[in-house]
Amino acid sequence: MMMRPFSWHDIDQWHLGVLPIILLLGAGALYYRGARRVPLWPRARTVWFYLGLLVTFLATESVIGVFDMEYFSVHMIEHLLLIMVAAPLFALSAPLELAYDAGGDGLRHFLDGRFMGVITHPLFGFVAYFVFIPVTHLTNLMNVMMEHAWVHHLEQIGFLAVGYLFFRVAFGLERGLKIHPGLRLVYVMAAVPVDTFTGLALVMSSHDPYSSYAMMAPTGSSSSWILSNVHLGGAIMWIGGDALMLLACIPIAVAWVKWETVRTRELDAQLDAQGI
């Protein structure tokens, strides 16, 4: 039996789940309510948040969500959309900052507590990203995800959470421990090898690394086609992931230049005041 080929006519198919829609709408409503309670909250951050929700919706509920288990290459596209597009957009929207400004004393106490201090620490975000990517793609967890839909959905949430924790440090918009604007570029570039390594490991695989993929692939798929799709998915992670990381460096570099400009003006003013 020949495998049914992917067709762009499939874009009219949607994978609309009740719980994901409720979660997305709930997140949007909470953010809107918080923004209304903070009069001077920047509109740009609100736009970033809703763009993040839109990308998340497209990645999980559109045709991408329909075929993310049948085509490993589509799964990798979903992965990149969640962790390297939606997550940075959420980081730019600074949701924890909004929660702090709009919330009550109890929420502020929790956000200032030890637990959140650990979760939002730069090292935690970096290590989480560095570990999460290969563990979810180069271990048996990938097979478990293919066999159990709830694990797959947890993985999607994990992409968003880990990506947000990583990029919130890179953008440095929220309260908490921050790193020097120049070091943020180093922070991002230091994480690039994990995507490259994971992608290359899949591209160079001589056999299907996922025993469960044969059951999930389109009916009639040959072993050679399955392996070639794994290779394609690895290439998407390798090339697409590295490209998106470099793209994320642009606003970080711009912010660094602005910071250095302001810092230089402040130093010049201090020197002038001292007559030096």
Which pLDDT tens digits describe the chain residue by residue (276 residues)?
A: 344 444 444 444 455 678 888 999 999 999 999 999 998 999 999 999 999 999 999 999 888 888 888 899 999 999 999 999 999 999 999 999 999 999 999 999 999 999 999 999 999 999 999 999 999 999 888 888 888 888 888 999 999 999 999 999 999 999 888 898 889 999 999 999 999 999 999 999 988 888 888 888 888 788 889 899 999 999 999 999 999 999 988 989 988 888 888 888 877 777 777 766
Assigned domain for 5 exists: no
Assigned domain for 45 exists: yes
Assigned domain for 1 exists: no
Assigned domain for 116 exists: yes
Assigned domain for 2 exists: no
Assigned domain for 168 exists: yes
Q: CA torsion sign, 49 to 52 to 54 to 60?
A: negative
| Alpha helices in the chain, H assignment, sequence order | 18-37, 43-61, 63-67, 72-81, 87-93, 95-102, 105-111, 114-119, 122-138, 141-147, 149-171, 181-189, 192-203, 213-216, 223-235, 241-273
Assigned domain for 269 exists: yes
Host domain of residue 80: 11-273
Supply the DSSP symbol for 5: P
Assigned domain for 6 exists: no
Number of domains in the chain: 1
